[in-house]
Amino acid sequence: MDNKHIEMRGVRKNFQFFTLDNLSLDLEAGEVMGFVGPNGAGKSTTLRLAMGMIAPDAGEIRLMGHAIPAAQAAAKRDVGYVSADMRLLPQATFGWHMEFAKSIYPEWDGGYAATLVKRFNLRPEQSARSLSLGERVKAVLLLALARRPRLLILDEPTTGLDPVARHEVISEFMDVLRDDDRSILFSSHNTVDVERISDRITFIDRGRIVECSNKEDFLDRWRRIHVQLPAGASLPELPNIVGRVVDGQFVTLTTDRYSEGLRTLIGPYVREVQRMNLEEIFVANVMHCREVRGS
Amino acid sequence: MLCIHSMYSGINISQTDARPMYLQILEQIRARVAAGDWPAGKELPSIRALAAALNVSVITIKRAYLDLENEGVIVTRHGKGSFVADVNGLAGELREAQLDEHLAEAAEIGRQLGLTEEDLAARLRRVHRNLDKK
Amino acid sequence: MNTLTRKLIAKELYVNRGFMVIGSAAGIVSILIATQGQIGFNIGCLTWLTTIIAMGVMLAIYGVMHERKEHSLEFVLSLPVSIADYVRAKVIGLWICFLVVWLVSSVAALLLVFLKESVPDGIAPYTVLLCGFMLANFGVLLCGMFEARSEAASTAMIVVTNMGISVFMFTVGPMNGIKQTMWNAAPSWNETFWIVLGCELAVLLASFALPFFLSARRRDFF
C-alpha cells in the first residue's frame, strides 16, 4: 500500500517572469527530505503548491493521499506548515494562538507545548506584534510541533535563530522521526543542517528539479580531485567531470560520479581526492546545470 | 561536577571532520565494542532512536549499522533489533583491521612520494626499531 | 457551516474587538453631541458619519488588505481550511463586525430623530435611507477589497466609496419624495423612500453574495 505523504507529478505553474516546470516529487512516510536551491528557484512555490495555497496549471498533487487543492482542508489536518515569513495575527497574543490551535486540533499536546514554550524561551503573554524574528519563527514552529502532525512542511525553519535555538529546533525535528509514520519536508539555505538530517535531498534550480537522491549516495558520488600535471603531461578524456579549474600545473577537477576507475584513469598525477560537503556540491551542481543549459 | 552516563552522549559527529558521518559513527561504535564498553550481546539502540539522539538522518545510521553488520561487529535479528556480535577474538580482529587501514594510508603517501615497496619496508623497519629503543 | 469556519468567524470578531467597541462608543457619543443645540447637531452628525465610514474602511483595510500583505494569511491558510471556507468566514466575520457598529449608531440616530423634539420626525425616512446607504456602501467596499487584485485597485475602492456619501447626499437629498417631507413633523414613508430602500437592499445583498461566487472560487491565493 502506497504510503506517500506527498506526491507531485508533472506539476507546472506559470508566473509572469518564472515557470515551475515538470515538477515531480515524492515524500515517503518516515523520511526527511531536504529541499535545496538558490533563491528564486521555486522552493517556496513548490511547498505552497503542496499545501494547496496555490493551484497548479498542470499536473497532479496529492497530500496525505488527498487530491490537492480540491481536498486540502482534509489533508491539512495532518500537516504542519511553517514558513519563515509567516506571521501570527497581530491583534492577538501568542497564548491566544496556542488556545486557538488547541481548539482546532484534537491532537494538540498541552504538556509538550508547555515544554516547548520553556525550551524555546517564549512567553504566552507576548503580543504577536512584539515578537522578534527569531521568536516569531519559534512561535510558529511550536504551534506546528505541539500538534504532532504526521507531516511537517517547513520553509526555511531556522531563519533568524541563534545556534542554540537552532540546535533545540533541530532536536525537536529529529524527535519527530522516532515515529516511522511521520515525515518532514524542509527547505533551507543552511546546508549544514540539510546535510546532517536529510535522508534524501532534492535540488531545484530555476523552476526545475535538478537532482533527487539518497543523501549518502549523493555525498559518496561527488569528489574534488586535485591533480598536478608536470610540464608536457596532459589528462586523458575523462568521463563525468562537471568542473575543471586550471592554475598552472595544478588542476582541480570536480566529478559527480566518482569511482576508483576514474582515479586510475588520471593515474599518477592525482595529489588528493577530497569529499565535498553539501554546500560545495550545491554550488558545483548549480554552476554545472547552468552551463549545460547555456545560460 | 555532573557526569552524564548515557549510551549515546559519548557518540559525537563532527561535520567539520573530513570523514563521512556514517563512518564516524561506525568507528565510535567499533571502538566501544573493541574496548569492551559494549559487551557481546548488548542491544544497540534502534536506528530511529539513535538518529533522534544524535540529530542525524536515519539513513546515515542505517548505513553505519549495515557496514558494522558486514564487518561482523554487530548482528541484526529481523524484528528484534541489533546486538553486539558474540565473536571470539573480535577485539583483536578489529585492531588488526585498524592496522591494515593505517598501513594502507602509509602506502598511499609512499606512492605519492614515489617510494618503492623496498623503500617503504625499510622505513617501516626503521620506525619499528626506534619503537623498541624507547 | 463547519466548526472551523465558525471558529474563524469567532477569530475575526476577536481580532476586531477594538474596532467594534470604539466604533460603537464613538457612534453613541456623536449622537449625544448632536443633542447639544444647532452647532452640536452639526458636529455630532459629522462625527457620526465619519465614525461609520472610518470603521468600514478600517475593517476593510485591516481585515482584508493587511492580512494579505502581512503574511498572516499564510498562517490562516495553513489551517485545515479551503480557500472557500476562508473567504466565507472572512466575509461573514467582517460583516458582523461592521453590523455591530452600524446597528448601534443607526439605532442611536433614529432615537435622536424620534425622541428629540428639536429634530423633526419627518427626517426619519432620510435617516433610514442614509443608514441603509452606509451599509450598502460598506458592502461594496468589502466586496471590492476581496476582488481587487492590486493595492492600487484596493485604494481606488476606498476613495470611491468615501466619495459615495457625498454623492448620496446630493442625489437622494434633493429627490422629490424626500426633500419636501424632510422637515415635516411626521415621517412620510412614501414611494420614493421604498424605491431607494429597495435599491440599497439589492446592492447590499449583491455585494454580500458576490465574494462567495468569485473569491471563494479562486484557486490561488498568492
**Dihedral angle computed from the Cα positions of residues C14, C212, C78 and A189, in that order, rounded to the nearest 10 degrees:** -120
Judged by average pLDDT, the poorest of A268-277, B6-15, C194-203 is B6-15
Q: How far is C31 from chain A (nearest CA, A)?
A: 29
Question: Would you say B25 and B64 are in contact if contact means Cβ atoms under 8 Å apart?
Answer: yes
Task: Name the pLDDT band for A178 (thresholds 50, 70, 90).
Answer: very high
What is the mean predicted confidence (pLDDT) over C97-125?
91
What is the mean predicted confidence (pLDDT) over C138-145?
92
Other beta carbons within 10 angstroms of residue C194's beta carbon come to 12
Q: DSSP letters along A99-160, please? A: HHHHHH-TT--HHHHHHHHHHTT--TTSBGGG--HHHHHHHHHHHHHTT--SEEEEESTTTT
Any contact of C with B, at least 3 CB pairs below 8 A? Answer: no
What is the mean predicted confidence (pLDDT) over C81-85?
90
What is the mean predicted confidence (pLDDT) over A208-230?
92
CA pair distance A12, A23, nearest whole angstrom: 7
pLDDT of res. B89:
57
pLDDT of res. A47:
96
A196 contact residues in B (CB cutoff 8 A): 13, 15, 21, 55-57
Q: Is A37 on the interface with C (CB under 8 A)?
A: no
What is the mean predicted confidence (pLDDT) over C107-128?
88
Say whether C71 and A87 touch across the interface (CB within 8 A). Answer: yes
What is the mean predicted confidence (pLDDT) over A115-143?
94
Q: Is A198 on the interface with B (CB under 8 A)?
A: yes
Which DSSP category does B83 fall into?
Answer: E
**Which has the closest alpha carbon to A204: A286, A118, A279?**
A286
Any contact of C with A, at least 3 CB pairs below 8 A? Answer: yes
What is the mean predicted confidence (pLDDT) over B45-52?
93
With 50 as the cut, is the pLDDT of residue A1 above it?
no
Question: Would you say A7 and A13 are in contact if contact means Cβ atoms under 8 Å apart?
Answer: no
Q: What is the pLDDT of residues A28-59, one digit of tens each?
A: 999 999 999 999 999 999 999 999 999 999 99
Question: Would you say A54 and C222 are in contact if contact means Cβ atoms under 8 Å apart?
Answer: yes
Q: Cell numbers for A279, please give them.
A: 554546500
B112 contact residues in A (CB cutoff 8 A): 271
Preferred mutation among B19, B57, B63 to probe A, highest tally of A CBs within 10 A: B57
Q: What is the pLDDT of residues A130-159, one digit of tens each?
A: 999 999 999 999 999 999 999 999 999 998
B47 contact residues in A (CB cutoff 8 A): none
Residue in A54, A76, A100 nearest the CB of C78: A76
Other beta carbons within 10 angstroms of residue C168's beta carbon come to 19
Say whether A196 and B48 touch across the interface (CB within 8 A). Answer: no
Say whether A53 and C77 touch across the interface (CB within 8 A). Answer: yes
Q: Cis ω on the peptide bond leading into residue C125 (within 30° of 0)?
A: no
pLDDT of res. B72:
87
Interface of A with B in 155-174 (CB under 8 A): 167, 170-171, 174
3-state helix, strand, coil in chain A (%, to 5): 35, 30, 35
What is the mean predicted confidence (pLDDT) over A104-120?
95
pLDDT of res. C185:
82
Say whether C81 and A73 touch across the interface (CB within 8 A). Answer: yes
Q: How much of chain B, in percent, has pLDDT values that exceed 90? A: 32
- Tell me: domain B21-84, CATH 3.40.190.150, correct? no
SS3 C84: helix
| Structural domains of chain A, with CATH | 4-217 (3.40.50.300), 223-275 (no CATH)
Q: What ipTM goes with this model? A: 0.87
A228 contact residues in B (CB cutoff 8 A): none
Say whether A197 and B55 touch across the interface (CB within 8 A). Answer: yes
pLDDT of res. C1:
65
pLDDT of res. C78:
94
Say whether A86 and C82 touch across the interface (CB within 8 A). Answer: no
Question: Would you say C45 and C129 are in contact if contact means Cβ atoms under 8 Å apart?
Answer: no
Domain map (residue ranges) of chain B: 21-84, 90-133
Judged by average pLDDT, the poorest of B93-97, B112-116, C157-161, C204-208 is B93-97
pLDDT of res. B36:
84
Domain map (residue ranges) of chain C: 3-217
Q: Which chains have 3 or more CB–CB distances shorter than 8 Å to chain A?
A: B, C
- State the average pLDDT for chain C: 89
- pTM for this model (two decimals): 0.85
Burial C93-108 (b: 16+ CB within 10 A, else e): bbbebbebbbebbbeb
Preferred mutation among B17, B55, B66, B116 to probe A, highest tally of A CBs within 10 A: B55
Say whether A216 and B63 touch across the interface (CB within 8 A). Answer: yes
Q: What is the pLDDT of residues B54-99, one digit of tens each?
A: 999 999 999 999 999 998 889 888 878 898 987 665 556 667 777 8
Burial A230-262 (b: 16+ CB within 10 A, else e): eeeeeeeeeeebbbeeeeeeebbbbbbebeeeb
Degrees, nearest 5: CA angle A44-A45-A50: 100
